[in-house]
Amino acid sequence: MKTRTALPADLSSVLALNEESEHFLSPLSRARLEALAQQATAHWVIEGEGSIVAFLLAFREASTYDSINYRWFADRYARFLYIDRVVVSNSAQGQGLGTALYRAAFMQARSTSVPIVTCEFYVDPPNPVSASFHAKFGFREVGRQLVAGGKKTVSLQVASVDGQNET
């Protein structure tokens, strides 16, 4: 398995992965993904046996990203790396690919003196797998908000890159 920066040729595979996990994510169109990829601080993919099996999309503060979840963090934190989404294909689950992408994100944040990594995940509908995954990285809830027209609730999460949680 090889982790690398996403290329324009990868976008169809990234969209397919996003669609496969859309019940845990917001939908993406090709145009939207292209725009986000241009703004992203990190848009990485993991390639295995000639196909994309995972990806991560993350943004730094001062981005023009219009996500309400990103904006929530931008209104409260001066310096952060926001992980917008990480997706691992159903066929590659349990191989540590999400962990590898998160470790890379924390390493990038640390190397650029960014003190915290932020993210969110659904708590309504419940996503206990994501809650457990994020807890292993030291994430803790700092807020909640309604999304999807009030149909879903996200837990807004923060983890310190040095292992010490801060708000």
In the chain, domain spans: 2-115
Confidence of residue 3 (pLDDT cuts 50, 70, 90): very high
User: How confident is the model at residue 49, as a pLDDT?
Assistant: 82
User: How confident is the model at residue 23, as a pLDDT?
Assistant: 64
Residue 166 has pLDDT above 60, yes or no: no
Closest CA to 141 of 156, 163, 119: 156
What would the pLDDT profile of 52-93 be if each residue is shown by its tens digit? 999 999 999 999 999 999 999 999 999 999 999 999 998 898
Q: Which fold has domain 2-115?
A: Aminopeptidase (3.40.630)
Cis peptide before 125 (omega within 30 of 0): yes
Please state the separation of Cα 23 from the chain's center in Å. 15
User: How confident is the model at residue 76, as a pLDDT?
Assistant: 97
**Angle at the Cα of 159 from the Cα atoms of 93 and 27, rounded to 5 degrees:** 50
User: How confident is the model at residue 21, as a pLDDT?
Assistant: 77
Instruction: Please compute the mean of the pLDDT values over residues 20-30 and round it to a whole number.
Output: 76
DSSP 55-91: EEEEEETT-----HHHHHHHTT-SS-EEEEEEEE-GG
Q: For residue 24, count other CB atoms closer than 10 A to its CB.
A: 16
What would the pLDDT profile of 130-157 be if each residue is shown by its tens digit? 999 999 999 999 999 999 889 999 999 9
125: which DSSP letter?
A: T
CB 82 within 8 Å of CB 58: yes
Residue 164 has pLDDT above 60, yes or no: no
What would the pLDDT profile of 83-124 be if each residue is shown by its tens digit? 999 999 988 989 999 999 999 999 999 999 999 999 999 999
